Structure 1
Amino acid sequence: MLRYLIALALLPLVLMLGSNGLVLAQSKQPNIRAAHALVLNGQGKPLISKNADQATPIASITKLMTAMVVLDAGQPLDQILKITKADRDTLKNTSSRLRFGGRLSRGKMLTISLSSSENRAAHALARHYPGGVKGFVQAMNQKAEALGMSHTRFADPTGLSPNNISTANDLAKLVQAAMDYPLIRRATTSTYNQVYPFKNRGPLEYRVTNRFLRNDNPNWEVLLSKTGYIREAGRCLVMRARTAGQDLTIILLKAQGKLTPYGDSNRIRKWLLQGNSQVAWQH
């Protein structure tokens, strides 16, 4: 009888502890469908972690680093840059509405590369960097090292290369660093942009890729965001956002469905609303 009573008394503790010692949610755990995930609260404490130390291709999440390297260089944002055939995508053969010969300021190219993931704009930014694209990629890797992103490697400035790899934990550091750049915060959350790359022609219109921003979702106050997709990376979403009464950093990588990162985000929100904000869950 004594053993039974002791076992009964310890049962809640057993249910609360996982094999790795992290406290698990008593309520149903969120069904995160992305292969890699990390959720941090406003103090940087991990609330959810899934394969967060495993490296994976990151697609256009790369462009957050691209933007930081551009801004760190201090080149004039009003300087006009020209799109050339050198900016053509030879990795995935993707198309672009930003045609060869188009001219935009460095600031405009930075904005559409972040908000709408315009690949030619991102490549042109790197091409106009001291040392060209090669020097730019080197600077990206140096910046990653300086930020302590020890499992991150960059091979190109657009994210089209599957050799651009990182982990969810490293990308949380990237998001934190990017928050210190007001232009990156503004560009990644601007819902609509018009640019005029050719004189005497109409504008090109660009919309933000984050669907929470595009649809003006009242449950999400997005402070910084970047999406990404190539086949090898799956659907990716990173953001700093306010929801369920909290500031969160959310990293979702290698999801298979176009809407899966948003579904995962809403499942995280629902889980937090159930009172799990002090609970760390890892698997």
Structure 2
Amino acid sequence: MRERIRLFFILSITFFLALSAISVEAKQSKSNKPSKAELAGISRADTKTNKDGLLRVASSNALIVNQNTGEVLFAKDTNTLTSIASVTKLMTAMVTLDANLPMDEEIAITNEDVDTLKNSSSKLPVGTVLPRSELLKIALIASDNRAASALGRNYPTGKAGFVNAMNIKALQLDMTRSEFADPTGLNNHNMSTAEDLVKMVKAAYQYPEIREITTTASYEAYVKGHHAPVNFNNTNGLIRKSDWIIGLSKTGFIQEAGKCLVMQAMISGQPMIIVLLKSYGSATRSADANRIRKWIEKTSSISYLNQSKQDS
């Protein structure tokens, strides 16, 4: 009898301990479940105001540089080589403009310009004929791949020669860790680093055409099969925000690169170059950019107040 009671007591304790362990594990599993913000690529810390005043961004690679002084305000994994997607098109634009080709020359979109690598969509049907100047605008504003492909294909030495010119230009800009494989950015072998892309943005900013085009909110063009003009919106929604003063902008996305954004913007009276790479989530790169602007504005205000106190 005593043996039965002892056995019952041991089994009861074992069952109670097992039940407790399951309960604890369930609670831990629930607490570790990612929030919607985390699924979008933003950690809980990034969705809140940082009380310590430090900047945190969700993008895997980020670099903020004062364009005038070269001062690095923030850096995160800036020398890692990564795909850059349609940020490539800034180099495409520079090579196109450097060639001094007639911008009013009409170019047809052909089957060669159709994306068979990523199967991306385009508002430019095959057979559409537009001047080189309009293709450049559509490639930069709407990040249209057929437009960029047509620009490269109609280079004097063809698309292969165009890509070669892109890589020569990169070396001239001291972008020693960068490599370009096509004019669209669809090829994941278009590779660079945040540090190299700062150099590319600085160079692209020297082209008035690129500054004007990339900061245009939308553009209309007549394309084949449409009686009315087709609208091409800028892929960077921040262009349409009144609280931003943007001097140059380009976005990019393919799966291998994540969401990318490079910009030149005036913040607190200073020209800043912002590079954000490998963001995940529909609004992560924009959220990072907004967080950066507010952080610079806040730190600039604190610096100004401290300087005023010292001067007085």
Bin of the TM-score, shorter chain as denominator length? 0.7 to 0.9
- Does residue 1:180 correspond to 2:206, yes or no? yes
Correspondence for 1:209: 235
* Matches for 1:67-146 after TM superposition, within 5 Å: 67-146=93-172
- Does residue 1:158 correspond to 2:177, yes or no? no
Any idea what the Cα deviations from partners look like across 1:21-48, whole Å, max 9, x if unmatched?
A: xxxx994311111000000113221100
Cα distance in 1 between the residues matched to 2:249 and 2:176: 22
Cα distance in 2 between the residues matched to 1:278 and 1:233: 36
Any idea what the Cα deviations from partners look like across 1:188-238, whole Å, max 9, x if unmatched?
A: 011111111338722111111111113xx2221010000000000000000
The one-letter amino acid paired with 2:187 is S
- Does residue 1:225 correspond to 2:249, yes or no? yes
* Greater radius of gyration (CA): 2
The one-letter amino acid paired with 2:116 is T
The one-letter amino acid paired with 2:56 is N
The answer (yes or no) to whether the contact 2:268–2:300 under 8 Å persists in 1 is no
Aligned-residue Cα RMSD (Å) equals 1.9
The answer (yes or no) to whether the contact 1:60–1:159 under 8 Å persists in 2 is yes
- Does residue 1:31 correspond to 2:83, yes or no? no
Structure 2's unaligned 5+ residue stretches are: 1-49, 304-312
Q: Alignment partner for residue 267 of structure 1, among 281, 284, 291?
A: 291
Correspondence for 2:40: none
Residues 88 and 276 of structure 1: CA distance in aligned 2, closer, same or farther (over 3 Å): same
Q: Give the TM-score, by structure 1 length.
A: 0.86
Larger fraction in helix: 2
Q: Give the TM-score, by structure 2 length.
A: 0.78
% identical equivalent positions: 47
Structure 1's unaligned 5+ residue stretches are: 1-24
Residues 46 and 26 of structure 1: CA distance in aligned 2, closer, same or farther (over 3 Å): farther
The answer (yes or no) to whether the contact 1:193–1:207 under 8 Å persists in 2 is yes
SS at match of 1:44: coil
- Give 1:62 deviation, angstroms: 0.1
Q: Alignment partner for residue 215 of structure 2, among 189, 199, 205?
A: 189
Residues 278 and 51 of structure 1: CA distance in aligned 2, closer, same or farther (over 3 Å): farther
Any idea what the Cα deviations from partners look like across 1:245-281, whole Å, max 9, x if unmatched?
A: 32110000000112111111111122222326999xx
